[in-house]
Every structure is written in C-alpha cells, then in structure tokens.
Amino acid sequence: MYKVVVSFLGRDCPGIVHAVSSLMNELDCNIDEVSQTILHSEFAAIIIVDAPDSLPLETLHQKLEAGLAARKVDLNITTRLFDGASWGTGKTEPFVVSVDGPDRPGLIAGITGVFSRHKVNIENLKALMPGGARDGHALIVYEVALPEGVDPAVLRQELRVAAEAMNVRMSMQHRDIFEAVHRIQPV
C-alpha cells in the first residue's frame, strides 16, 4: 500500500460523497482522512487514501475519472503521492483568530500578511457573509498554529493594527479557551 492525496473540485450535487467514497472502495483504496466543503454550489474535497501497490498512481487517476464520469459526476481530479512532509518541525500552539466587520477587498490579504510575516500557519479558514452579499458584513475565522518563539502578544498587537486599518474587529484566543467559551452546554 502507498498513500495518495486526491482532490476533487466541481459543481455540487446530491450523492457526490457517495460517488467518490464508493469508487474508492471499488478500487480497494482505504480512505484515511477527508476534508470536504461546499462554497455556494461548488464542491471541494481533499482525501488521503491508502492505495494498493498493484494500482499505479496514473491508473488510479484514470479510473477515478472514468468512474465518476460513469456516475455522471463532473469533478476535476488531481492525484499525487503523499510524502508526509510537514511545513515545520517545531512545536506550535493552536489559536483562533476571528475578524468581523464591513466586507472589503483585501480583508483576507491584510490579515494573512501578518500571519505570513510571523511564519504562522493557517490550518483552517472560514470566511462568511452571514447577512448575504447585500448586507456587506464579513466574518472570517482562522485556526492557526503559532510556532514556538512567536510571542502571542506581539502577534495580537500587529493583527489589531491591521484590523483597525481595515475598520474591522479582531479577536485572538488560544484554541482551548475559544472552545471552552463557545461550547454549548445543556440547559
């Protein structure tokens, strides 16, 4: 067995996850991990699978394309060997940064520029317009990994300055605190 990263992108439709997962099963590929989302009407997924040695990567790709076409599921597919390499080797601390306020061009670029300067990795990003496009309000939540040696207070201050320049609010909390505050408790 060898590991493969497979990504799928295309128009969403009912049964799309079943089509992908059943096809993987038919090809004797075991799904290790999945991340899937829908933005507007677009489906996106990345899957890490164990593929049998008897199924070369090129053949896997071709069979995935043919199998989805037979199921009438139109997805663009990319496949590559999973090498297990990580962006860094040091210890990190998980934080959640949320930004909300008026939507405007450059809002994500302005905040992520601060992360980039500090070598902070964004592990998850969700940008929403809760009131719809006409409302003009944006809510962006970043789950990030702060490398050892990055002072959270310094990062928080730089993020605050960037947020103020864009006329939005910014909050930064350790993930454990964020989850404790936002945990739904029984009544």
Tokens 């909390």 belong to: 173
Domain that includes residue 75, residue range: 2-81
In a shared domain, residues 24 and 63: yes
User: Phi and psi at residue 166, in whole multiples of 5°?
Assistant: -100, 5
Distance CA 13, CA 42 (A): 9
Last residue of a domain, one of 81, 116, 149: 81
Residue 177: enclosing H or E segment and its boundaries? helix 175-182
- Both structure tokens of 168: 């939005």
Q: What is the predicted pLDDT for the residue at 103?
A: 87
In a shared domain, residues 178 and 101: yes
Q: What is the predicted pLDDT for the residue at 175?
A: 79
Beta strands in 40-187 (DSSP E): 42-51, 75-81, 92-102, 121-128, 137-147, 169-174
SS3 (DSSP) at 11: strand
Q: What is the predicted pLDDT for the residue at 88?
A: 67
Residue 59: enclosing H or E segment and its boundaries? helix 57-70
Last residue of a domain, one of 81, 107, 136: 81
Q: Which residues of the chain have pLDDT under 50?
A: none
Q: What is the predicted pLDDT for the residue at 64?
A: 95
In a shared domain, residues 105 and 56: no
CA angle 37, 43, 47 (to 5 degrees): 65
Number of separate domains in the chain: 2
In a shared domain, residues 72 and 98: no
In a shared domain, residues 172 and 121: yes
Q: What is the predicted pLDDT for the residue at 105?
A: 87
Q: Is the pTM of this model over 0.95?
A: no
Q: What is the predicted pLDDT for the residue at 165?
A: 94
Q: What is the predicted pLDDT for the residue at 171?
A: 92
Distance CA 134, CA 39 (A): 18
Distance CA 6, CA 78 (A): 6
Tokens 């302005």 belong to: 110
In a shared domain, residues 133 and 70: no
